[in-house]
Structure 1
Amino acid sequence: MMPGKLLQEIAQAKPWTCREEEAFLNIARTYEYLAQTLSEFFREYHLSMTQYNMLRILRGAGPEGLNCTEAARRMITHDPDVTRLFDRLEVRRLILRKRSSVDRRVVLASITEHGLELLSQMDEPLCDLHVRQMAGLTPEKLETLIEACEALRP
Structure 2
Amino acid sequence: MDPIAEAHRQWSARWPDHADHMAAVTSVMRAQQLLLSRVEAALKPHGLTFAAYEALRLLAFTRSGALPMGKMGVRLMVHPASVTNVIGRLEGRGLVERRPSPDDRRVVLAALTPAGREVAEEATAALHEAAFGMPGLPAEQAAGISAALRAVRVCAGELSDS
Same-fold call, TM > 0.5?
yes
Partner letter of residue 15 of structure 1?
A: W
Which residue of 2, 5, 11 corresponds with 1:5?
2
In 1, the alpha carbon distance for the partners of 2:140 and 2:90 equals 38
1:31 corresponds to: 32
Q: TM-score, normalised by structure 2?
A: 0.79
In 1, distance between residues paired with 2:45 and 2:138? 29
Residues paired across the two proteins, number = 148
8 Å Cα contact 2:73/2:80 also seen in 1: yes
Aligned to 2:69: 68
Q: Which runs of 5+ in 2 are unaligned?
A: 13-17, 154-158
Per-residue deviation at 1:134? 4.4
Bigger helix fraction: 2
- Compute the displacement of 1:18 (Å): 2.1
- State how far apart, in whole Å, the 2-side matches of 1:55 and 1:34 are: 19
Partner AA of 1:151 in structure 2: A
CA contact (8 A) 2:69 2:84 kept: yes
CA contact (8 A) 1:53 1:76 kept: no
Percent identity for Structure 1 against Structure 2: 24
- Greater relative CO, 1 or 2 (CA 8 Å, sep 6+): 2
Question: Partner of 1:105: helix, strand, or coil?
Answer: coil
Describe the shift of the 1:61–1:138 C-alpha distance in structure 2 as closer, same or farther (beyond 3 A).
Answer: closer
CA positional deviation for 1:123: 2.2
- Stretches of structure 1 lacking an aligned partner (at least 5 in a row): none
Aligned CA RMSD, in angstroms, stands at: 2.3
Runs of 4+ deviating beyond 4 Å: 76-79
1:59-102 Cα distance to aligned partner (Å, 9 max, x none): 11232511111011111555633222211111111012111122
Look up the match of 1:127: 128
Give the distance between the partners of 2:19 and 2:50, measured in 1 at CA.
Answer: 32
Q: What is the rounded CA distance, in whole Å, between the counterparts of 1:46 and 1:71 in structure 2?
A: 21
Could you say which residue in structure 2 is the equivalent of 1:84?
85
